[in-house]
């Protein structure tokens, strides 16, 4: 049986091709990345107002909020090589590490570990605090 979906709010995207999306519960801010414009946006979830926008170092494919910061999967260069970046509104972007085989997309965080999907490789990777990867998870 299909349940009816009730839409609570609809916000217009502040940019074309919205891709990365993350909720920062600490700051009550919705973050969005534009694939084509290579920019990220902090959005007020109540009215859709852009609070901050900034150029990304590449294509922001995915985002996740963790412990008051954000992590982005960013594609760089002609081959769209994927890297994990740390982002804070105060310090901006800093490259953390290359994704295994330079592929990766969606991110998640369980309170301790960062997870990343690799669609083509058909796997989910788990990274610990030292950026060590366990592909069995």
| The overall pTM is greater than 0.85 | yes
- For strand 133-134 and strand 18-24, is the pairing parallel, antiparallel, or unpaired? unpaired
CATH number of 18-134: 2.130.10.10
8 Å CB contact between 35 and 54: no
- What pLDDT score does 132 carry? 56
Average pLDDT over residues 27-53: 96
**pLDDT above 80: residue 137:** no
8 Å CB contact between 60 and 72: yes
Task: Write down the domain spans for the chain.
Answer: 18-134
The per-residue pLDDT for range 6-37, each reduced to its tens digit, is 998 899 999 999 999 999 999 999 999 999 99
The per-residue pLDDT for range 82-114, each reduced to its tens digit, is 999 999 999 999 999 999 999 999 999 999 999
């Amino acid at each position: 049986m299909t349940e009816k979906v009730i839409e609570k709010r609809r916000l217009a995207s502040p940019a074309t091709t919205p891709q990365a999306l993350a909720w920062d519960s600490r700051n009550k801010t919705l973050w969005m990345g534009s694939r084509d414009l290579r920019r990220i946006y902090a959005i007020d979830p109540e009215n859709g107002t852009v609070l901050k926008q900034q150029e990304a170092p590449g294509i922001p494919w995915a985002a996740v909020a963790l412990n008051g910061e954000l992590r982005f999967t960013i594609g760089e260069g002609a081959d769209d090589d994927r890297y994990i970046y740390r982002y804070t509104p105060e310090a901006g972007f800093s490259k953390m590490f290359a994704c295994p085989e330079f592929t990766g997309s969606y991110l998640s965080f369980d309170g301790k570990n960062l997870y990343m999907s690799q669609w083509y490789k058909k796997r989910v990777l788990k990274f610990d605090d030292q950026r060590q990867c366990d592909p069995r998870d």
